[in-house]
Structure 1
Amino acid sequence: MIRFDYARPTDLAEALREGAGEEVAYLAGGTNLVDLLKENVARPTRVVDIARLPLTGIEDTAQGGLRLGALATNTETAYDQRVQARYPLLSSALLAGATAQLRNAATNGGNINQRTRCYYFYDVATPCNKREPGQGCAAIGGVSRIHAILGTSHQCIATHPSDMAVALAALKAEVRVTGPGGDRVIAFADYHRLPGDEPWRDTTLEPGELVTAIDLPPESFPTNFTYLKLRERLSYAFALVSVAVAMRLEGERIAEVRIALGGVAHKPWRRPEAEDLLRGQEPGREAFGAAADALLEGARGQGGNDFKVPMARKAILRALEQATAGTPQSQTDKRIA
């Protein structure tokens, strides 16, 4: 049994005081942390339950965007009328993730901070640099079906599991955090990290920092968008490959486009230079293929996940076609449109 101190603050200042120090874990909905505690992967000395903090609101910003409270649930966010009308890409990605019961408990802040679902990370009997630095990575040379094809290092080939994060990357959201050093805002592209030589660090959060909100920008792409998720089964499963596309057309040409991939890297994967190839172009297979090739440049499997490279290319093409036509992937009828 893991023994830890437990605190349940009711205001942000108290939460930050309780969250100071090493080996402290913040608990929100618990849909990830509780699993990690059960599997003996997470061993905090103190758990700070932040469920009572006043961070549940969803409100308009002065800039014309939307601010999502860190403790608003995924269900509340997905079905919020403003999110559905103005940011349907985000709503679609949320509804593609987990089950209804989990979405009812999972929070926005917890979603973007969830840990990888790598088999070896969860198996404490196997080496894992993410779980215990310096042990090695059992996934390299092991069972790699769900693992990364982009942005890997010799220390880690894990993927980030969040669907919500892929949509937020395409929307160019910002993460608002507070901590011992005060408040700061992190561009979503800079929030998650590639493994490099420090695979145990998933994000750029500093010790003791807490996510308070996620800001969505004014440009929302309400018409030409899609979230396409390919998985082992159509019911609850993490993505093998997912694609979020946010597009704006002017006449018969692409004025703006964002493409983010999930299931292929340690963070949501974007390459603005690949998107630049499509701006000003007429939509079509040739242009889409060039962008897909640029986005996937350097992609490499580990044997068991080699199939992800051609799968990702086909998924990018299909997602761009869906977004262009204004026929986004249905998260109710999950068959590929």
Structure 2
Amino acid sequence: MRPFDLQRPDSLEHARNLSTGETATLIAGGTNLLDLMKLQVEVPERVVAIDRLGMNEIQATEDGGLRIGALVTNTATANDARIRSDYPVLARAILAGATQQLRNRATTGGNLCQRTRCYYFTNIDQPCNKREPGSGCGAIEGIARLHGVLGTSSSCIATYPGDMAVAMSALDATVEIVSADGSERSVPVRDFHLLPGDTPWRDNVLETGEIITAVTLPALVEGKQLYRKVRERSSYAFALVSVAAIIAMEGDTIARADLAFGGLAHKPWYDPRLSDLLVGKAPDAALFDSAADLLLENAQGYGENDFKIPLARRTLAAVLAEATETEL
């Protein structure tokens, strides 16, 4: 790890001012950043620690939702009685990720901003457009087992590794952001992360000096909430495919269907067309196949990860079957 200047601001404004330079990086729990600094993937000259600035409470909102502060730990969120009762998909997603020790340190804002675990990104001796623009994407012709099959580009096929944001996408949560000039803006979680395109080094919409202050969950949602994570071992492994689902039935037909997917793309994948297809229909295997056809119509494998396409199809069908109590 290279030497760096550690700063502990005493206010959010102070933190914004310290983090406006290109060589400055914010740190909260540090569960991702410190690893990247040890590998010299991230080499900030200044590290701005914001872990003492509050933003560590979960509060009810006026419209019946919940506001989760950016510094609330993953453990606190997953264990909160209101989350477990009203937003179980979020609790289950968080508990499916990392280890208890990491969840004790990882924060809401930091989790959203975590970077890919692509082998080429984390190895500074390998080509990676995300780490070194213009150097190429080693994964396209290399080791691509964990990599994306949706929304990829010729510049990058890395995946977003998190679980929490997948559940938040299904819930249609909103990220609250304060800008360098003190102004505030809100961005839907579904729009917070970016596809690689020609700028794979941009993981999300945050601009220099901007800080996440909270994530807001909408009012309690109707329906059954599920999170299914398919991985190579039962714990401490990133998703090959994951599905967060909120499905409500009205009689024999689907009344609500919000689905988000992990392990498939550079961001949690949400396709609103799936809801349009499913709502108002009676659940059966043919309908689930049609949903998978729509989800995967532009999917592209890269050799080692070709299996993700049929795996996503089977996982989606299994989740929809469980949520609607349909036999396949």
How far off is 1:162 after superposition? 0.5
Q: Letter of the aligned partner of 1:194 in structure 2?
A: L
Measured against aligned partners, the alpha-carbon deviations of 1:216-259 in whole angstroms (never above 9, x if no partner) come to 011434x4121110001012100011011111211221111111
**Cα distance, 1:141 vs structure 2:** 0.4
Match status 1:238 vs 2:243: no
- Counterpart code for 1:321: A
CA deviation profile, 1:28-74 (whole Å, cap 9, x unmatched) = 00100000000000011110000001100000001111000110000
* Shift of residue 124, structure 1, vs aligned partner: 0.2
Alignment match, 2:185: 184
**How far, CA to CA, are the matches of 2:266 and 2:100 in structure 1?**
25
2:201 aligned with 1:206: no
User: Where does residue 46 of structure 2 map in the other structure?
Assistant: 46
Q: Which string of whole-angstrom CA distances, capped at 9 and with x for unpartnered residues, describes residues 100-150 of structure 1?
A: 111111001111110000000000000100001111000010011000000
Q: Which residue in the other structure is 1:313 paired with?
A: 313
Q: Is the 8 A contact 1:270 1:295 kept in 2?
A: no
Work out the CA distance in 1 between the residues paired with 2:100 and 2:273.
Answer: 37
Residues matched between the structures, number = 325
- Provide the identity percentage: 53
Helix, strand or coil at the partner of 1:189: helix
Task: Give the CA RMSD over aligned residues.
Answer: 1.1
Separation of aligned partners in 1, 2:250 and 2:39: 51
Give TM-score scaled by structure 2 length.
0.97
- State the SS of the aligned residue for 1:119: coil
Aligned twin of 1:13? 13
After superposition, where does 1:160-309 map in structure 2 within 5 Å? 160-181=160-181, 182-221=183-222, 223-309=223-309
The answer for the alignment partner of 1:334 in structure 2 is none
Would the aligned equivalents of 2:170 and 2:260 in 1 still touch at CA under 8 Å? yes
Q: How does 1:19-98 map to 2 (within 5 A)?
A: 19-98=19-98
- Runs of 4+ residues over 2 Å off in structure 1: none
Q: CA deviation at 1:291?
A: 1.0
Equivalent residue for 1:130? 130
Q: In structure 2, the residue corresponding to 1:277 is in which secondary structure?
A: helix
Task: Give, as a single letter, the amino acid of the residue that structure 2 aligns with 1:183.
Answer: E
In structure 2, the residue matched to 1:153 is 153
Name structure 2 gaps, 5 residues minimum: none
Instruction: List runs of 5+ in structure 1 lacking aligned partners.
Output: 327-337
- In the alignment, residue 138 of structure 2 is paired with which amino acid? A
Query: Is the Cα contact below 8 Å between 1:224 and 1:325 reproduced in 2?
Result: no
